[in-house]
Chains A and B, each alone.
Chain A
Amino acid sequence: MFATGIAEEDRKGSYVDRSISRPCNFEISQQSPVTHTQYPYVTGTSVLGIKYKDGVLLAADMAGSYGSTVRYKSIHRLKAVGSHAVLGASGEISDFQQVTQYLDELVLNDYMWEDGNKLGPQEIHSYLNRLMYNKRNKFDPFWNSLVLGGVENGQKYLGVNMIGVHYKDNHVATGFGNHLARPMFRNEWREDLTLEEGVKLLEKCLLVLFYRDRSSINKFQIAKITEEGVVISEPFALKPNWDFKAFHNPTLGADGSW
């Protein structure tokens, strides 16, 4: 499953980060210093994650925004990693694709040892942490907030990573989800949520995000990770409610206001 188009020099061991193998240019030249892209181009918005009774649920919409326009409407921002983990990403999509490429190589090389051991979500998260922090130290970060959810030996795992800042919690969110969804999670999350309750909670938050986050669209995916494995749902839409009386004629009885 080697990806095509990788330069000969890069096909080394998988645990060596490619950017280390390239020599750094320390010469102080007449030209301006080496800079990398300063801002993201095609971005994904929030990712939500909660633990529930039987495992972990992740949710994200499928929009790829190019600045203020919704350029791509079928971006899969939830990717399975190995057999028992899912990675969700917000931020620059191309960086997310690069990260998943690294992770695919990691999982493949681990599989090829054929020693009966498998990389669990905690190990994958540690690898991601090193990857993100290392790039950040070279002033060339992966412009992502990554959410890793997984189940290993009955232990549920849910963690976030950006620029090497990493933390775990019972419920997480990236981007706008932090402001809009986390308050709802803090009110309503319980250790023993059933699958229906968990999905209902996520759908409630996804709808609020659709109302109030301009980069989100009404097309979502939910990923479920349990002991049995990973299931990522087909894209679905939610039903927004625009039918308030006050929206029909807002300034009724308030002449002069707008």
Chain B
Amino acid sequence: MAKADVKLPQMQSGFDFGLCRRNDMLVKQGGKPAKFLKTGTTIVGLVYKDGVILGADTRATEGEIVADKNCEKIHYIAPNIYCCGAGTAADTEAVTDMVSSQLELHRYATGRESRVVTALTILKSHLFSYKGYVSAALVLGGVDITGPHLHAVYPHGSTDTLPFATMGSGSLAAMSIFESGYKEDLTREEGMELVSAAICAGIFNDLGSGSNVDLCVITKGGKEYLRNYKKPNPRTYIREKGYSFAKGHTQVLSTTIVPLKDKVTIIEGEAMEE
């Protein structure tokens, strides 16, 4: 069997900051600084009796606007490992995809189930080498042969190993629920209730979080990805009849008809060779 070799990305000199100089110059000339898509976010994780429960809200913000009302913040890393992401959406998506591919190759090389510490180590080395510029704050959880694990990963590459963790702008609201409600050896129902209560606290008390609650329960036996487990913000008033725009609603001011036959020439010929 080939020796397992997890390759870390090779870099010559880290980031090229040339574009930052360009952005500064544009701002000085009176332009607006570019906004990027952030997941304002409340993400949480907790260890219960049989495994790990991860939770997340579903709002993605671009400055003050809600860009995506129902995005997915719980990312797949391995069949037994999932990762919630807060911070810049592109960074969390890219970094979790990267770790996921690396782990899949690693599984083929080793013939074993992936371990949470492997994902943790790849994530933290990557984030550390980018000095915090990859703005990804993650809650990584999973169950492997050594048991259930939950880690919080920060953009600069430090990690915490905890029985319960929260990240994102709604982390304080969620943490207040956890600190007052967490006990050891929670049952599955109690754990799911506590996690969804924490996410709801973020949804209703933090402006950067909103919409629905996503849950992911990981145990030794497998995982259960509960997309939109709770929908506490339904659209209350919808016109039942719908809207119809019959002909005659819009006034026609002028009509021009351009026959396409004159513009298109049809050439009889042979089929292209492959």
In the complex, given contacts A187-B197, A254-B117, what are 5 additional A-B residue pairs having Cβ atoms less than 8 angstroms apart?
A184-B201, A187-B201, A208-B179, A254-B116, A255-B117
Chain B residues near A181: list those with CB within 8 A: 176
- Among B116, B117, B180, the most chain A Cβ lie within 10 Å of the Cβ of B180
- Kindly report which residue of chain B lies nearest to residue A211, judged by CB atoms: B179
Chain B residues near A251: list those with CB within 8 A: 161
Write out, one digit per residue, whether chain B residues 85-97 have a CB within 8 A of any chain A CB (1) or not (0).
0000000000000
Please tell me if A18 contacts chain B, counting CB pairs below 8 Å: no
Number of contacting residues on A, CB 8 A? 28
Q: Are A180 and B121 in contact (CB under 8 A)?
A: no
Nearest-CB distance from A214 to chain B (Å)?
Answer: 13
Chain A residues near B149: list those with CB within 8 A: 253-254, 257
Chain B residues near A245: list those with CB within 8 A: 163, 184
Binding site for B on A (CB under 8 A): 176, 179-184, 186-187, 204-205, 207-208, 211-212, 244-247, 250-258
Chain A residues near B147: list those with CB within 8 A: 252-253
| The 5 A-B residue pairs with the shortest CB-CB distance in the complex, in nearest-first order | A246-B163, A253-B146, A179-B172, A183-B173, A183-B201
CA distance A258 to B173 in the complex (A): 25
Main secondary structure of the interface of A (DSSP, over half): helix
CA distance A251 to B201 in the complex (A): 29
Q: Are A212 and B179 in contact (CB under 8 A)?
A: yes
Band of interface residues on B = 20 to 34
Q: Are A244 and B116 in contact (CB under 8 A)?
A: no
Q: Which of A183, A211, A247 contacts B204 (CB 8 A)?
A: A183
Q: Are B172 and A212 in contact (CB under 8 A)?
A: yes
Nearest-CB distance from A248 to chain B (Å)?
Answer: 11
Chain B residues near A205: list those with CB within 8 A: 176, 180
Count A/B pairs, Cβ under 8 Å. Answer: 77
Q: Are A207 and B179 in contact (CB under 8 A)?
A: yes
- Kindly report which residue of chain B lies nearest to residue A210, judged by CB atoms: B179
Q: Are B176 and A208 in contact (CB under 8 A)?
A: yes
Query: Using a CB-CB cutoff of 8 Å, which residues 153-178 of chain B contact chain A?
Result: 159, 161-163, 172-173, 175-177
Nearest-CB distance from B201 to chain A (Å)?
Answer: 4
- Kindly report which residue of chain B lies nearest to residue A253, judged by CB atoms: B146
Q: Are B159 and A183 in contact (CB under 8 A)?
A: no
- Kindly report which residue of chain A lies nearest to residue B145, judged by CB atoms: A253
CA distance A252 to B161 in the complex (A): 10
CA distance A250 to B121 in the complex (A): 16
Please tell me if B47 contacts chain A, counting CB pairs below 8 Å: yes
Chain A residues near B47: list those with CB within 8 A: 246
Known: A179-B173, A180-B172, A257-B117. A186 touches B163 (CB 8 A): no
Q: Are A257 and B204 in contact (CB under 8 A)?
A: no
Known: A187-B201, A246-B162, A253-B147. A212 touches B175 (CB 8 A): yes
Nearest-CB distance from A180 to chain B (Å)?
Answer: 4
Q: Are B180 and A208 in contact (CB under 8 A)?
A: yes
Chain A residues near B172: list those with CB within 8 A: 176, 179-180, 212
Query: Using a CB-CB cutoff of 8 Å, which residues 38-72 of chain B contact chain A?
Result: 47
